[in-house]
Copies of this chain bind each other. A is one copy, B any other.
């Protein structure tokens, strides 16, 4: 049997970019893929003779390395029932293909109405990707396809089938048997293995992958695209897998930077009264307790600090050098770093690859070369660098000095400041380490993740990502880290027109939406859509325990809440189950019927006036087996209209204390709504939030935000439970 490497080698030697159908199938069959029984014939006589041996009906297809779009060119003849049919088909194929015809493929006609497609290709960020979907002539019409980043596990192959919209075709369907799912899994895993073992294979397309009426899987047609040049990933140092030593060196460098005792700012300027104060003034103003050196050859002193003309003149090596000179001067500044033995660098300056212009690209290539050759560890360029409250280190104004358990890894400097300020001031969420790394010259998100995975002060990792250089490493890391430290990701540039802006912002290529979707499904990372959503979700993960399922009970006030709760839950995939009759009967023992609905939502003002009734309700629902999570919804205007504003504070204390105990550790969040401008109510809302947040009870404005958060929590825990199975 011919070896795969020989098949591919032969084709490359002949200068071909693909294997022909017969070669493709030979290769696939060696990876365990079920191929339709077939034979190559090179003459009309042979075709007829072999067809008689095979038995009718048969299929005849033209073969030839230059023959593409076979169906459209009439080179595929199905439904041949007789010797005459085969003669005619051979003639027609010859006429159409002309000199390009190298022979014909003869197959028995495989019957089956269910056609799928499977394949693989190489993505610029994630490398090898396996594809599965609805096939046949309508593949591009329906576009029902799912992806997985290789290598593929059996569980993931199974999930691919489950995620297909047309998955019911895989079950018993209109008198035809359910597909042999184990065989289908072998196809997908075989593809993954083929791609992993042969980097010279760029693409495989099996269409149709036919399901027979008995449920058998058969590859009827297949194409393998090859390339003599191996994937460029291997040559790009930023995509290379780091060795253990390299990782340890980077970890140590990041640890030194995050706890820097000495910082030099190259291009330090005096702080301005108006406009951005600059790197030096911001670091200084935040109260950095270490030794801070301004580098500026044009002045003696800046804000009371003695300046130095360059890094070489400094009295000691720096834990961190911040470069804030104009872009054309950055190469010299980096050389100065190397000359002075300073390897830990943050380049604040912009004007590189993110401009999308020639000069910016050239400058970035230049500084990358300098940095790599000099062994520099670079944050940036085009970023805000480090924010570490514990070390009193930040480069922007308005950051909180409090430290906390959340890390943030952000490709955007603006988002680094916005998210941390908003999370701190709105919800009292504080940070351990924040890395803003912009164009990722030598250090990428994967390096910060590696460091944070070992950081005991970090319990949750939030990320703003636009692109990634080594997607496979990112996937491996996040899958592992996410088991113990939830990873919450805002992916910018998911949409087609978003991708252009990403290129302009940090100069990285954003991946296709469907592949990032696969990334989230595989890693179990929590995907959010905005900084506000990231804040909401972080608050929940910080404070809530495991969610055992998706069934929510809403206890609240207000006429429209029933419909709003039902629509809101359905929108994010949560259940709002009607309570069982027995439960409703028990509720009715202490909740009077007049004006109080108890089907779920429980729409009953009385439980917020007589708070022990709220406790009893929570007790009852959380000890049953029909509810997994709680939303308590307060329509604050109601308490105002009814002269019971003070009641809000009592409710807050009750929830913070007693009510929470009576949920028996089921997740509980509070929602408030306020439509009237009453200042008393505004004040009561502020008190409500203070009391609840202090006690660790997440509190949100409006039902939709709460439902979204709970749906993410439930998905996260469900994913983690499945991993343990």
CB-nearest residue of chain B to A383? B559
Assess the A576–B142 pair: CB atoms within 8 A: no
Bound complex: CA A576 to CA B500 (Å) = 10
Q: Give the segment of A97-105, A204-212, A669-677 that binds chain B.
A: A669-677
Assess the B566–A418 pair: CB atoms within 8 A: no
- Please name 30 pairs of A and B residues whose Cβ atoms are closer than 8 Å in the assembled complex, sorted by A: A71-B175, A138-B166, A138-B169, A275-B643, A277-B641, A396-B641, A413-B559, A414-B560, A414-B561, A414-B635, A415-B559, A417-B637, A418-B637, A421-B637, A422-B676, A425-B675, A425-B676, A492-B560, A492-B564, A493-B566, A495-B566, A495-B567, A495-B571, A498-B566, A498-B567, A501-B576, A501-B601, A502-B566, A505-B562, A530-B702
Among A414, A464, A558, A642: residue with most chain B CB under 10 A: A414
Residues of B within 8 A of A71 (CB): 174-175
Minimum distance in angstroms from A51 CB to a CB of chain B: 18
Residues of B within 8 A of A586 (CB): none
Known contacts A142-B142, A505-B559, A675-B419; decide if A497 and B414 are in contact (CB<8 Å): no
Assess the B559–A414 pair: CB atoms within 8 A: yes
Assess the B421–A563 pair: CB atoms within 8 A: no
Bound complex: CA A581 to CA B565 (Å) = 49
Known contacts A422-B675, A637-B418; decide if A412 and B493 are in contact (CB<8 Å): no
Residues of B within 8 A of A174 (CB): 71-72, 137
What's the tally of chain A residues with a CB closer than 8 Å to chain B?
A: 88
A45 within 8 A of B: no
A578 within 8 A of B: yes
Assess the A643–B273 pair: CB atoms within 8 A: yes
Assess the A560–B412 pair: CB atoms within 8 A: yes
Residues of B within 8 A of A558 (CB): 414, 418
A344 within 8 A of B: no
Assess the B113–A141 pair: CB atoms within 8 A: no
Which residues of A in the span 538-591 have a Cβ within 8 Å of any Cβ on B?
Answer: 558-567, 569-571, 575-576, 578
Bound complex: CA A532 to CA B676 (Å) = 13
Assess the B501–A562 pair: CB atoms within 8 A: yes
Residues of B within 8 A of A46 (CB): none
CB-nearest residue of chain B to A638? B276
Assess the A641–B398 pair: CB atoms within 8 A: yes
Known contacts A563-B412, A563-B466; decide if A532 and B492 are in contact (CB<8 Å): no
Assess the B637–A567 pair: CB atoms within 8 A: no
- Taking a contact as CB atoms closer than 8 A, the residue among B276, B398, B414, B495 that contacts A570 in the complex is B495
Residues of B within 8 A of A599 (CB): 504
A722 within 8 A of B: no
Bound complex: CA A11 to CA B562 (Å) = 45
A597 within 8 A of B: yes
Ranked nearest first, the 10 interchain pairs of A and B with the lowest CB-CB distance are A414-B559, A495-B570, A425-B677, A501-B566, A492-B563, A422-B675, A501-B562, A498-B567, A498-B566, A418-B675
Assess the A702–B532 pair: CB atoms within 8 A: yes
Known contacts A71-B175, A498-B563, A501-B563; can you find 20 more A-B pairs with CB under 8 A? Answer: A273-B643, A274-B642, A274-B643, A274-B644, A275-B643, A398-B676, A414-B559, A414-B560, A414-B561, A418-B560, A418-B675, A492-B564, A495-B571, A497-B569, A497-B570, A500-B566, A500-B578, A501-B576, A502-B562, A504-B597
A7 within 8 A of B: no
A67 within 8 A of B: no
Assess the A562–B504 pair: CB atoms within 8 A: yes
A95 within 8 A of B: no
Assess the B562–A678 pair: CB atoms within 8 A: no
Bound complex: CA A466 to CA B578 (Å) = 19
Minimum distance in angstroms from A273 CB to a CB of chain B: 6
Bound complex: CA A174 to CA B397 (Å) = 60
A696 within 8 A of B: no
A640 within 8 A of B: yes
Assess the B137–A113 pair: CB atoms within 8 A: yes
Minimum distance in angstroms from A325 CB to a CB of chain B: 13
The 8 A CB mask of A390-419 against B (1 = contact, 0 = none) is 000000111000000000000011110111
Minimum distance in angstroms from A360 CB to a CB of chain B: 11
- Taking a contact as CB atoms closer than 8 A, the residue among B81, B276, B413 that contacts A641 in the complex is B276
Which residues of A in the span 677-725 have a Cβ within 8 Å of any Cβ on B?
Answer: 677-678, 702, 704
A324 within 8 A of B: no
Bound complex: CA A530 to CA B703 (Å) = 10
A350 within 8 A of B: yes
A145 within 8 A of B: no
Which residues of A in the span 104-157 have a Cβ within 8 Å of any Cβ on B?
Answer: 113, 137-138, 140-142, 144
Assess the A563–B704 pair: CB atoms within 8 A: no
Minimum distance in angstroms from A571 CB to a CB of chain B: 7
